[in-house]
Each structure stands twice: as C-alpha cells, then as structure tokens.
C-alpha cells in the first residue's frame, strides 16, 4: 500500500512539473503578484471565476504544489511510522524538507520578480524532489526489498554503477543548463536547428548563445551516455528486466526529448511543446536514476534480510563486471 | 528530535501565515517608495516671458509593419469587451501611413540648472477593455501616478524599471486604484500585465516638464522652453530613439521632424 501511494505521489509530481513548466512557458510567473496569498485571498479560497488567462497556470501550479506537499507530509509520516529502515524514515523527512524548500523558493521567486538565480534553483530543486519521490517508490518496491541480485554480490558491478551514475549526473547537469537557459531568456538565442546560425558552430557569441550552445552540446553528451548505458546493460544484463526495461525506456525517452527540444526551437517556443520538453527531461532523469539505484542495490544489502532471487547467469555476469573493473 | 521540531515549527509558521491572510476586498493601495528628504536644488526658474516652443512631427519611412494580432480568448471578460479583431498598438500611424503616433518626445539635455516644480496633479493609467490607457505617456519625478482598474476582471500592474524600484501589484476588483511615485528620471519604464500578456504600456519619468507624446497624426509640442540649445530625443517602443539638436532664441518657435525607418532612424531640423 505504501508503495502504491509512493507511485501516486510520483504521478502527482509529474503533473506538478508540467504545471510549473506551463507557468514559465506562458510567462505567467508573476500573474499572481502576491504569495502565499492570491490577490489577497487565501490560496484555497481564491474564487475559480478569477482563474482567467495566465492566472490559471500560476494559481493551478500553486494548488497542485500544495496538494503534492500535503501528499508528501502523508508519505513522510507513513514512512516514519511504518518503515523499519531508519535511513528510509529520515529519507522521507528529507523529501518533505525538499518540498517545503521548493515551496519557499517558488514564493521567493514571485516576491523578487523572478530573478534567474532563484527561478533556476526552483527548477533544479524540483528535479531533486522528483528524484526523491521516485527513489521512495523504488525503495518501497517489492523488487528492491527482495533484493534484485544480492546473492550475486551486486556491489560487484562497478562498470554499470559508474556508467549509470555518470549518466544520471550528466542528465541533471543538462537539466540545470536547460533551466538556466529558460530563466535567462536564452531559449531562442540560437534560432535555427539543427544548424546554428547556418553553421555547425555559432559564428558569433553572447552569454545567451553560450548557454544555449552548452545545452545543445549537453544533449549530445547525454545521448551518448544513455546509449553507452543501454549497450552495457544489453550486453551484460540481458536477463535482468529490472535493468533492461528502464534502459530501453531511457533510449525511447531521450529520442522523444531531443525531438521535443528541436521542435521547441522550430516552433519558436510553443508553450506546450516547451513544457513537454521539460517534463520529458525530468522523466529521462528519473529513469536513469532508477537504473542507477538498482545498480547500487547491493550496497544496501546489510539493511535487509534477503532471499536469493536471481539466476546464476546474472550472478556470473556481475562477477564478470567485478573482474572487468 | 531538534530537526523534527524545526520542521514542525516551519510548517506551523507557513500554515499560520496562510490562514491569517484571508480574502481581500481592498479597493485601493499604495506602493510608493518612501521619498528621501531633499532640499530644493539651487537653480533658476524659467521666465515664461522669454520662453519659446518646439513643435514638430514624427514620421515613419517605408512600409509600416503590421501590428501583431491579439487573442483575448483566455479571458471571457476581455472577449466581451472587445468584439472586433484586436491587435497591438505598436505602430499607430496616420490615415496616410506617414506619421507616427505614440512616440515619446522629450528634452534630454540642455536645461542646465533650471528647476521645476513637481506637479501635484495625478497622472492616470487606466486598465480598461483589457488595454492600458494611455499606451505611452510621461510624468515627472515624484508626481503621483494613479493606477486604475476599470475592468470587471482582474489585472496585475507590473512595472519593470531599471533605475527605479520594480513593483507588481494586483487589482482584482473593478474600480480599484493605487498610487505610485517614481523617484528617479527614467526613459522609459515598461508596464505589463502578466495576466493578459498582450497588455503593455510605457511611461517616461522626467526631471523636467518638457515632454510630449505624438498624437495619431504624429504631432507633438514642447511649450515654454527657455532660450538655449537642447538635445531633443524621440523614443518609439520598436523603432528605438533618435535625437535632434535645437537652438531656441527668446520667444522663438522651432519645428523638428523625426523620421523613423523600420531599420534605423534619422532626424532633420
């Protein structure tokens, strides 16, 4: 039940990220000028008849955020009272702390007229909170608790761990660059795609062009990292669906993500395409996180009493990985 | 335990803050910055007996760009107030397409140590039919600006100056008013409504009273200028600025023509 609730929280967080990206995409961040009130009303009693034009996006974002915050409180309390793992209980508290901090950053960025630094931090922390909700869903899942491959000594897979961890960090860095690009108005600093001002590299530079260029280079690096991870899993962990499935999904998502990025430029930042680009980026990040966490499952072995689950071939593969390292 | 208490405390504060802020029915507000006390600067008053005028016209050379169309369907009130196709007010031109309105013309330099009284009469910007009225205007430093919402829908008025203090205030109820003063000269301060993205306006904040906005025929007039040599600047929201130098004798009247081009501008006098 706790695991189901954690998945529900993940789904709500996806919706929250979509709502937040729609705010920025519609330039609606200051359409409700006060915080935590809305035009002087308590946020929860602000009349729906006033949710017009851009207010719909900003106020809707606040309401969804409040709902996710409330769900996170439930989640933290639930973990605190029901989960036997001490570190997991504190992880629930940390997740609640991140969503509170996220709400405060959201309020601050409104009160200070959307400074790029605070807005970018708001976007960056959103991804961390999303990762934490996904991590809770993973940590409370039957597969994780059972231990995917503990009898094989999962900490014997350093190449997979290194590749997956690197990919996840790269994706997060890429998202931060994207957030900086969004909140500094550099989304169309390079107006053409796939070329850049008609060439392979921009023929002139500004800070906005540099940020945009970095995001495109970042996309290339992330794509390479993801294909490397996918290839590694396909070649060495073919019989481990808990790795092959998210790896395949990751490849599909990055293809969609690159397409959405291109369409964002070509459509002159259509708000919905732009927003789905943000959401898809978050899903790329968390899918990579799933692979990464599962690759590190062995390090959590001492906190569980596990039953052997995996096949001998998987065991031998993990041993092989250790040998390669 | 201490950490848990901290979180509980934070949540308590957040909850109390939220509950304390109930629905508001305020119909007016003030966001003026506190005025710093300042002594009247030493200087001379303009002698109106010897003053002259500068008048002229702003023109546009070449094909006038089409104003961007506006979709107001995100707000039913705006739709109801505007039943015909709407567009931006960027290029307001005369019937023959040659003269340019909504150009802010002002004395940029040359007034030396003349001093001017701050008007006590209010300038007004009104949010009506989901537009700002006027679209371009000028006020003097510390002159009260009254911001009115005449619409039966809500607006936020968001000023984005570079030298003055930025502000963003909501006016959710029809008839609400607020006052604001700018304490530094600044040309121009943009206004926008973040609710209705098409709504924008510009105010020139001046330290002297010699400013005007061209009418739909592109005409302007700067009255009661003392004799001297002045730099006159004309500003347009898309076409940029251009300047002209004018030397004015006692009781003299001079004409200036500013000609804006789609890609640049020139001035003749």
Q: What pLDDT, in 10s, does the model give residues B99-122?
A: 999 999 999 999 998 999 999 999
The whole-number pLDDT of residue B89 equals 93
d(CA B258, CA B109): 17
* Three-state helix/strand/coil letters over B24-58: CCCCEEECCCCCCCCCCCCCECCCCCCCEEEEEEE
> What's the whole-number mean pLDDT along residues B176-198?
96
The whole-number pLDDT of residue B4 equals 46
Name the percent of chain B lying above pLDDT 70.
Answer: 82
Give every CB contact of residue B167 below 8 A, 6+ residues apart in sequence: B31, B157, B158, B159, B180
Q: Do A113 and B154 touch (CB under 8 A)?
A: no
Helix, strand, coil percentages for chain B (3-state, nearest 5): 10, 45, 45
Longest alpha-carbon distance in chain B: 82
CA distance B209 to chain A (A): 31
Nearest residue in B to A49, CA atom:
B153
d(CA B14, CA A104): 9
> What's the whole-number mean pLDDT along residues B38-60?
83
Q: Which residues of chain A have pLDDT under 70?
A: 149-157, 301-325
Residue B9 has pLDDT above 60, yes or no: no
CA distance B246 to chain A (A): 38
B82-86, B136-140, B263-267: which has the minimum mean pLDDT? B263-267
> What's the whole-number mean pLDDT along residues B171-178?
96
ipTM metric: 0.80
Residue A165 burial (CB count, 10 A)? 18
Could you give the 3-state DSSP secondary structure of residue B120? coil
Q: Which of A33, A43, A96 sits opposite B170 (nearest CB)?
A: A33
* Residue in the block written with tokens 């006098």: B269
CA distance B76 to chain A (A): 8
Q: Do A31 and B21 touch (CB under 8 A)?
A: no
Determine which of A32, A39, A99, A105 to mutate to test the interface with B (most B C-beta atoms within 10 Å): A39
Pair of tokens at residue B128 = 């009506």
Q: Which of B166, B169, B194 sits opposite A31 (nearest CB)?
A: B194
Give every CB contact of residue B200 below 8 A, 6+ residues apart in sequence: B132, B135, B190, B191, B192, B193
The whole-number pLDDT of residue B38 equals 43
> How do residues A75-114 score in pLDDT, each as one tens digit?
999 999 999 999 999 999 999 999 999 999 999 999 999 9
The whole-number pLDDT of residue B268 equals 52
Could you give the 3-state DSSP secondary structure of residue A25? helix
Mean pLDDT rounded to a whole number for chain A: 90
CA distances from A269 to A69, A201, B45, B62 (A): 30, 21, 54, 30
Q: Do B14 and A39 touch (CB under 8 A)?
A: no
Beta bridge partners of B137: B203
A290-299, B232-241, B243-252: which has the minimum mean pLDDT? A290-299
* Three-state helix/strand/coil letters over A33-82: CCCCCECCECHHHCCHHHCCCCHHHHHHHHHHHHHHHHHHHHHHHHHHHH
The whole-number pLDDT of residue B203 equals 98
Residue B27 has pLDDT above 50, yes or no: no
> What's the whole-number mean pLDDT along residues B50-59?
95
Residue A112 burial (CB count, 10 A)? 12
CA distance A35 to chain B (A): 9
Taking Cα atoms as reference points, which of B127, B111, B130, B102 lies closest to residue B204?
B102
Q: Chain A contacts of B77, Cβ < 8 Å? A: 52
Q: How confident is the model at residue B42 (pLDDT cuts 50, 70, 90)?
A: low
Residue B222 sits at φ, ψ, to 5 deg, of: -110, 110
Q: Chain A contacts of B19, Cβ < 8 Å? A: 42
The whole-number pLDDT of residue A302 equals 57
Q: How confident is the model at residue B262 (pLDDT cuts 50, 70, 90)?
A: confident
Higher pLDDT, B9 or B193: B193
Pair of tokens at residue B209 = 């009273």
> What's the whole-number mean pLDDT along residues B177-196?
97
Give every CB contact of residue A263 below 8 A, 6+ residues apart in sequence: A270, A273, A277
Residue B8 has pLDDT above 80, yes or no: no
Q: How confident is the model at residue B43 (pLDDT cuts 50, 70, 90)?
A: confident
Establish how many alpha carbons lie within 13 A of residue B69's alpha carbon, considering only the half-sphere containing its beta carbon.
Answer: 4
Q: Do A55 and B154 touch (CB under 8 A)?
A: yes
CA distance B113 to chain A (A): 37
Q: Chain A contacts of B155, Cβ < 8 Å? A: none
Helices A2-25, A271-295: inter-axial angle, 10-degree rounding: 150
Q: How confident is the model at residue B263 (pLDDT cuts 50, 70, 90)?
A: low
Residue B208 has pLDDT above 70, yes or no: yes
Helices A2-25, A55-82: inter-axial angle, 10-degree rounding: 160
CA distances from A153 to A8, A244, A276, A302 (A): 32, 19, 39, 11
Give every CB contact of residue B120 below 8 A, 6+ residues apart in sequence: B143, B144
d(CA A263, CA A273): 7
Q: Which of A34, A45, A55 sits opposite B23 (nearest CB)?
A: A45
> What's the whole-number mean pLDDT along residues B140-156?
96
Residue B25 has pLDDT above 60, yes or no: no
Nearest residue in B to A96, CA atom:
B7
Establish how many alpha carbons lie within 13 A of residue A318's alpha carbon, considering only the half-sphere containing its beta carbon.
Answer: 24
For the beta sheet containing B240-248, the strands, ordered from the edge strand earlier in sequence to the opposite edge, are B211-213, B104-109, B228-236, B240-248
CA distance A73 to chain B (A): 10
Q: Chain B contacts of A54, Cβ < 8 Å? A: 74, 194-197
A140-149, A166-175, B43-52, B88-97: which has the minimum mean pLDDT? A140-149
d(CA A265, CA A213): 13
Longest alpha-carbon distance in chain A: 66
Nearest residue in B to A103, CA atom:
B14
* Three-state helix/strand/coil letters over B146-189: EEEECCCCCEEEEECCCCCCCEEEEECCCCCEEEECCCCCEEEE
Taking Cα atoms as reference points, which of B123, B138, B151, B147 lies closest to residue B222?
B138
Q: Which of A34, A42, A54 sits opposite B170 (nearest CB)?
A: A34
The whole-number pLDDT of residue A299 equals 78
């Amino acid at each position: 039940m706790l695991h189901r609730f954690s998945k529900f929280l993940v789904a709500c967080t996806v919706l929250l990220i979509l709502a937040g990206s729609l705010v920025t995409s519609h330039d609606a961040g200051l359409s409700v000028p006060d915080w935590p009130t809305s035009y002087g009303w308590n946020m929860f009693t602000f009349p729906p008849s006033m949710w017009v034009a851009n207010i719909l996006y900003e106020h809707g974002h606040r309401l969804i955020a409040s709902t996710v915050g409330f769900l996170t409180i439930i989640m933290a309390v639930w973990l605190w009272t029901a989960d036997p793992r001490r570190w997991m209980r504190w992880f629930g508290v940390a997740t609640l702390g991140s969503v509170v901090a996220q709400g405060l950053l959201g309020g601050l960025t409104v009160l200070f007229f959307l400074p790029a630094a605070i807005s970018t931090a708001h976007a960056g922390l959103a991804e961390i909170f999303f990762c934490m909700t996904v991590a809770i869903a993973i940590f409370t899942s039957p597969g994780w608790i059972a231990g995917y491959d503990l009898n094989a000594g999962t900490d014997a897979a350093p190449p997979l761990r290194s590749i997956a961890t690197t990919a996840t960090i790269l994706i997060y860095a890429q998202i931060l660059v994207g957030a900086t690009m969004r909140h500094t108005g550099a989304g169309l600093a390079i107006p053409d795609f796939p070329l850049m001002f008609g060439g392979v590299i921009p023929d002139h530079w500004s800070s906005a062009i540099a940020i945009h260029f970095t995001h495109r280079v970042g996309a290339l690096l992330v794509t390479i990292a993801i294909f490397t991870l996918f290839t590694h899993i396909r070649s060495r962990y073919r019989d481990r669906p808990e790795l092959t499935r998210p790896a395949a999904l990751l490849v599909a998502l990055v293809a969609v993500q690159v397409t959405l990025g291109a369409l964002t430029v070509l459509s002159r930042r259509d708000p919905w395409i732009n927003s789905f680009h943000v959401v898809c980026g978050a899903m790329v990040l968390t899918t990579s996180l799933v692979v990464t966490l599962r690759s590190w499952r062995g390090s959590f072995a001492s906190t569980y009493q596990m039953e052997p689950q995996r096949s001998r071939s998987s065991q031998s593969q993990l041993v092989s990985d250790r040998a390669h390292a | 335990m201490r950490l848990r208490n901290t979180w509980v405390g934070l949540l308590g504060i957040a909850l109390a803050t939220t509950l304390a802020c109930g629905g508001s029915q305020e119909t007016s507000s003030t966001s003026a910055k506190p005025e710093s006390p300042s002594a009247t600067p030493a200087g001379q008053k303009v002698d109106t007996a010897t003053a002259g005028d500068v008048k002229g016209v702003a023109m546009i050379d070449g094909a006038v760009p089409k104003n961007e169309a506006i979709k107001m369907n995100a707000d039913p009130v705006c739709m109801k107030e505007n039943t015909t196709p709407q567009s931006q007010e960027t290029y307001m031109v005369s019937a023959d397409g040659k003269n340019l309105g909504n150009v802010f013309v002002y004395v940029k330099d040359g007034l030396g140590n003349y001093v001017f009284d701050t008007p006590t009469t209010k300038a007004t910007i009104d949010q009506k039919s989901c537009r700002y009225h006027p679209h371009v205007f000028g006020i003097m430093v510390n002159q009260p600006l009254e911001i009115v919402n005449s619409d039966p829908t809500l607006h936020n008025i968001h000023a984005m100056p570079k030298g003055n203090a930025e502000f963003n205030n909501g006016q959710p109820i029809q008839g609400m008013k607020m006052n604001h003063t700018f304490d530094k000269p600044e040309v121009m301060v943009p206004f926008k409504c973040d609710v209705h993205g098409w709504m924008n306006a510009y105010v020139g904040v001046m330290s002297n009273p010699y400013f005007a906005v061209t009418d739909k025929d592109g005409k302007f007039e700067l009255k009661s200028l003392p004799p001297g040599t002045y730099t006159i600047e004309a500003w347009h929201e898309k076409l940029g600025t251009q300047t002209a130098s004018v030397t004015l004798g006692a009781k003299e009247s001079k004409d200036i023509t500013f000609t804006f081009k789609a890609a640049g501008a020139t001035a003749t006098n």
